[in-house]
A and B are shown apart, each in its own frame.
Chain A
């Protein structure tokens, strides 16, 4: 029972490089989310997908793009990485309903140099 799986777990990028963070869930959830976690800032929502076929901006979407590939997979792309994007990224999923618990992946620690 894998839950939410993120790859890679660690990544170092040079400024200007691009990369895609992958996320997959096996719980048949409708909704998927990408958050970033920075010290003292809590978790801030980057993008979310309330259901397959839809994506919407969250609190901090600049510099990112997303793709909801199918119901299971939701990827986050950095087109031109910047040092300000150094962070820990978490993918999460939930049922699309009130009171629904979100399940989190283990995180991707990204450093941009």
Chain B
């Protein structure tokens, strides 16, 4: 079964510092992978997705993620954190054969300190 593991339930960075949120997947076939962001008291919105077209994927708000098959990873990065990046981030993999369900990781809460 396909799944994702997010390493670190809480990451704290200073404003202007590099953001690195880790996600590893398990899949027997090339997966479709997603990063979602959830701001306080809101639903989830898509940051970016990997669909096999390119290994480096750029998303909204300056975020990007690199698909590394050899490491089964899809880590999310941003060169310089902004206060507005404080949120919870979820990695997800599409599972379920032709039903295309999304299976989520447990999430990583990002705190940005001034």
Q: How far is the CA of A31 from the CA of B102 in the complex (A)?
A: 11
A79 CB within 8 Å of chain B: no
B83 CB within 8 Å of chain A: no
Known: A31-B99, A45-B101. A105 touches B43 (CB 8 A): yes
User: Which of A45, A56, A104 is in CB contact (< 8 Å) with B43?
Assistant: A104
Q: How far is the CA of A56 from the CA of B32 in the complex (A)?
A: 21
User: Which of B94, B101, B105 is in CB contact (< 8 Å) with A42?
Assistant: B105
User: Which of B49, B90, B101 is in CB contact (< 8 Å) with A99?
Assistant: B49
A90 x B99 contact (CB < 8 A)? no
Residues of A contacting B51 in the complex (Cβ-Cβ under 8 angstroms): 98-99
A48 x B99 contact (CB < 8 A)? yes
Instruction: Write the residues of chain B forming the contact surface with A, with a CB cutoff of 8 angstroms.
Output: 9, 32, 34, 41-46, 49, 51, 90, 94, 98-107
The 30 listed contacts between A and B (C-beta, < 8 Å) are A31-B100, A33-B101, A41-B106, A42-B90, A42-B104, A42-B105, A42-B107, A43-B44, A43-B104, A44-B104, A50-B98, A50-B99, A50-B100, A92-B44, A92-B102, A94-B100, A94-B102, A96-B98, A97-B100, A98-B32, A98-B51, A99-B51, A99-B94, A100-B100, A101-B34, A104-B45, A106-B43, A107-B41, A107-B42, A107-B43
